[in-house]
Amino acid sequence: TMTMSTPLIQMEGIEKVFHTEDLETHALSKVNFAINKGEFFSIAGPSGCGKSTLLSILGLLDTPTDGRYLLDGVPVNGLSVKERARIRNEQIGFIFQSFNLIGDMSVEDNVELPLVYRRMEKKERRARVASVLERVQMSHRAKHLPSQLSGGQQQRVAVARALVGDPKILLADEPTGNLDSVNGEKVLDLLKQLQAEGSTICMVTHDDRYSNYASRTIHLFDGTVQRVVDTERPLDLKAGVLS
């Protein structure tokens, strides 16, 4: 019987070359991997090894020089700029190291923005915003400005903004990079909880302390895959991963 489902993400032979004035940087070379639905996948490796480049390609913010990328079985290489923007808006949630909230907009307006771009009607937008703010425990700060929140709270709002459109995958680039260890752990606990509820997460980190949150970790070095390590702790195996 057909019980195997297609991986959510398939990367085949991904290459990325950056050309600047007189320099050619091979940022990614022969990168192959797949991410299954419900995984907490992490990308690790030292600074400059290609983690952010890979995440930008995963998030359709950049295109590979060569290779094939299938998102939920659909090849995304040849899509137009407009189609890529639509897929980004509807299927991908981004969380950045520096939160990237808009400073003169309230928490709830920040979280609502991706839905405004989607032309969703106001009533549904408001209901979704209220629901995700509750999920990240930030309802009580809905009318605040980002500058009135701690770093950990701002990142929880950024997680809510990434979640509000119900994306197929959450991409996080060093989401704990600007947080102290207590708040860093809180944000990772939140991501882990979202995974248990069925989300698929791909996180970049160079911090080994956090690698045990992931179910699998891909280690990059100089743009190539060194190894992929199963980091799932046995006790977590049944936590919603198969749903």
The footprint of Mg ion (CB under 5 A) covers: 51-52
Picking from 153, 152, 164, 154, the residue whose alpha carbon sits closest to that of residue 125 is 164
Q: Which is nearer to ligand ADP, 193 or 224 (CB)?
A: 224
Q: Which is nearer to ligand ADP, 38 or 223 (CB)?
A: 223
Q: Is 116 helix (H, G, I), strand (E, B) or coil?
A: helix
Residue 47 in the binding site for ligand ADP (CB under 6 A): yes
Residue 52 in the binding site for ligand ADP (CB under 6 A): yes
Residues 6+ apart with CB under 8 A from 86: none
Residue 49 in the binding site for ligand ADP (CB under 6 A): yes
Residue 51 in the binding site for ligand ADP (CB under 6 A): yes
Instruction: Convert residues 53-92 into a mask of x (bound to ligand ADP by CB under 6 A) and - (unbound).
Output: x---------------------------------------
Q: Least Å distance between CB 216 and ligand ADP?
A: 18
Residue 175 binding result from Mg ion, ligand ADP, none, given CB thresholds of 5 to 8 Å by partner type: none
Residue 217 in the binding site for ligand ADP (CB under 6 A): no
Residues 6+ apart with CB under 8 A from 17: 24, 25, 26, 27, 65
Q: Rounded distance, CA 179 to CA 55, Å?
A: 20
Question: How many residues make up the chain in this entry?
Answer: 243
Residue 95 in the binding site for ligand ADP (CB under 6 A): no
Instruction: Return the residue of 1, 3, 4, 20 that touches ligand ADP, per CB under 6 A.
Output: 20
Residue 128 binding result from ligand ADP, Mg ion, none, given CB thresholds of 5 to 8 Å by partner type: none
C-beta separation of 174 from 204 below 8 A: yes
| C-beta nearest to Mg ion: residue | 52
Number of residues that bind ligand ADP (CB under 6 A): 12
The β-bridge relationship of strands 92-95 and 40-44 is unpaired
Q: Rounded distance, CA 237 to CA 206, Å?
A: 24
Q: 176 vs 13, 35, 98, 156, 217, CA distance in Å?
A: 30, 22, 9, 11, 17
Residue 25 in the binding site for ligand ADP (CB under 6 A): yes
Q: Least Å distance between CB 60 and ligand ADP?
A: 16
Q: Kindly tell me the burial class for residue 202, based on how many C-beta atoms sit within 10 Å of its own C-beta (0-12, 13-18, 19 or more).
A: buried
> Which residues of this protein are in contact with ligand ADP, per CB under 6 A?
18, 20, 25, 27, 45, 47-53
